[in-house]
A and B are shown apart, each in its own frame.
Chain A
Amino acid sequence: DQQVKQNSPSLSVQEGRISILNCDYTNSMFDYFLWYKKYPAEGPTFLISISSIKDKNEDGRFTVFLNKSAKHLSLHIVPSQPGDSAVYFCAASETSGTYKYIFGTGTRLKVLA
């Protein structure tokens, strides 16, 4: 049972344009959501997070939006740069529960120069 889903395995975007990566979850107890970026042969690197008490969090070129009623979150990257090309994972956890973080399968983003 996949509690966190990333339905787009890959995405290509032109440099300078917006990249939108999507993530859906099924467990209504999740209250903390994260995005990670992973390059080949490296561990995932934390990008940005959002608590369920917010619907938007912004950090530089990265913005995460949370729609609790739809159980959906998205990561926006504006403007996209070739160095953003990587696999992006979303993850979710229950902060008052078991401290487990559940990951999606990832979306491979390719930013074309």
Chain B
Amino acid sequence: DAMVIQNPRYQVTQFGKPVTLSCSQTLNHNVMYWYQQKSSQAPKLLFHYYDKDFNNEADTPDNFQSRRPNTSFCFLDIRSPGLGDAAMYLCATSRVGGLGSPLHFGNGTRLTVT
């Protein structure tokens, strides 16, 4: 089945220790997104790639970076995690065109910062 896969499902890192979350897709969608979701809050868009074009949200901290080496993979790098970065990180994809296309989400990575 075509899908969006996030690894790992759970990640524990220490305060200030760099961490990388990964996402892969078999849908061949041209847009990939990273969302951050904290408890009882709306998923918050951090950035997205349209093909290789990177689009950063204005309020995404510089601490967060992303890489998309090819169509199938996208990475979220947190250079110096703080306690406030503990959250669920959701990767999603969409196919641009027509009257709209839904986002397809992975199961997320829950990040704990100790």
Does B associate with A?
A: yes
A contacts, CB < 8 Å to B: 2, 4, 9, 31-32, 34, 36, 41-46, 49, 51, 53, 89, 91, 93, 95, 98-106
| B96 touching A51, Cβ below 8 Å | no
A51 to B97, CA, bound (A): 13
B81 within 8 A of partner (CB): no
Is A44's CB under 8 angstroms from B99's CB?
no
Apart from A44-B43, A104-B42, what are 8 other A-B pairs with CB-CB below 8 Å? A42-B107, A43-B90, A44-B103, A45-B105, A51-B100, A95-B98, A99-B48, A105-B42
Neighbouring A residues of B4 by C-beta, 8 Å: 43
Known interface pairs A34-B103, A43-B105, A91-B103; A99-B96 also in contact (CB < 8 Å): yes
- How many residues on B have C-beta within 8 angstroms of the other chain's C-beta atoms? 29
Q: Are B40 and A9 in contact (CB under 8 A)?
A: yes
Name B's A-contacting residues (CB within 8 A).
4, 6, 31, 33, 35, 40-45, 48, 50, 55, 90, 92, 94, 96, 98-100, 102-108, 110
Establish whether residues B42 and A46, one from each chain, have CB atoms under 8 Å apart when the complex forms: no
CA distance A91 to B33 in the complex (A): 14
Query: For A32, what are the chain B residues with a Cβ–Cβ distance below 8 Å?
Result: 99-100
CB distance B45 to A101 under 8 Å? yes
Write the nearest CB–CB distance from A77 to chain B, whole angstroms. Answer: 18
Residues of A close to B99: CB separation below 8 A: 32, 51, 53, 95
Min Cβ gap A63→B in Å is 17
Closest 7 CB pairs of A and B: A32-B100, A43-B105, A46-B102, A103-B42, A51-B99, A43-B107, A105-B42
Choose among B35, B42, B94, B98 the residue that contacts A99 (Cβ–Cβ < 8 A). Answer: B94
- Asked if B108 contacts A95 (CB within 8 A), the reply is no
* Residues of B with C-beta under 8 A to A103: 35, 42-44
Chain B nearest CB, measured from A79 CB (Å): 24
In the bound complex, how far is the Cα of B37 from the Cα of A106, in angstroms? 11
A89–B94 CA distance with the chains assembled, in angstroms: 17
Q: In this complex, what residue of B is CB-closest to A44? A: B105
What residues on B are CB-neighbors of A98 within 8 Å? 55
